[in-house]
Structure 1
Amino acid sequence: MVGELDQTFCSVDAGLLKGIQACSPKSETFVSEPHLNELAKHYRVDLKTEEVLVARNFLAWKREAGCPPKDMSESRRLSTDNMFPSLTPAIQVVLTMPVDSCSCERSFSALRRLHSWLRQTMGQKRLHSLAVMSIEKDTLQHLSHNRVIDQFATLKNRRHSLMLPPTK
């Protein structure tokens, strides 16, 4: 059950999300080359290192002049195709992504509940699985618990080798 939910809802990795964040002028990692490279690799954009460096210097100059970009669409307008031909498609990809803040807010509140001080030693994989189950609880409610238990019961007995022989 967790494996199915994991396949369905967890295809995006952290590197891609950091790349998206690097396109936001409000982010501390704005126009960060390592983060943008993850985004470019995922969307097959040929990002030039020199261009990212020039863009970062240009945006720093705009910030010092008192007119930094306020949002992603303004940074897209500043980075014209002629000025930054490989950076512009990366920003354009991010701007065309649909945004759903409700699922993001649900994710953070679920993690806040799950990762308490009592569960600090929990492994990343288990925490991830519990978070997916908590976030997608509407999907889980439609599953038949008896069917899941029956499927689990038909699996190989994993404790067979650990069981002690019966005492007389």
Structure 2
Amino acid sequence: MSNEEANFECWKINVYFKIMDCVINGMKNRFSVESLKIGVGVDNFIQLKYEAEMMVIKNMMNKESFEIDDIIPIVDNNIFLNFCKLLQTALTIPISSASCERSFSVMRRIKNWIRNTMTNDRFTNLSILHIERDLSHVIESENVLNIFAEKDRRIS
């Protein structure tokens, strides 16, 4: 074994395997058994390891390694109906918890020491508006004001 191969083996054992162990343990601690099964299922689905339709599509690919972008032009929605449904499901399942973590950081920004007397209803509504801000930016304030102005607000 050459000196370079020995250095590589030493690096692999002392660095790479330790990092991979940390990553795997972190994934096991962070995600539940069910979400890990979903992730493995999605990975197997992407790798086309199950179902007859997937085997046909894999044979149509004519290569061992491929990406989702390579599969989409080949798949016809009318011919591979089950595969298309599974592909839509796999692409819409959130694998990470980033959106949940963003929600908690939003809550800290909204309810700070200045707004400490805010009621829970108001806090919930402000949080939803901030978390879903891409949807709330589309809403035109004129339309909301017009709807609000149509109702009689006088106290009798």
Q: What range is the shorter-chain TM-score in?
A: 0.3 to 0.5
Q: TM-score, normalised by structure 1?
A: 0.38
Q: TM-score, normalised by structure 2?
A: 0.41
Task: Answer 1 or 2: higher relative contact order, Cα 8 Å, separation at least 6.
Answer: 1
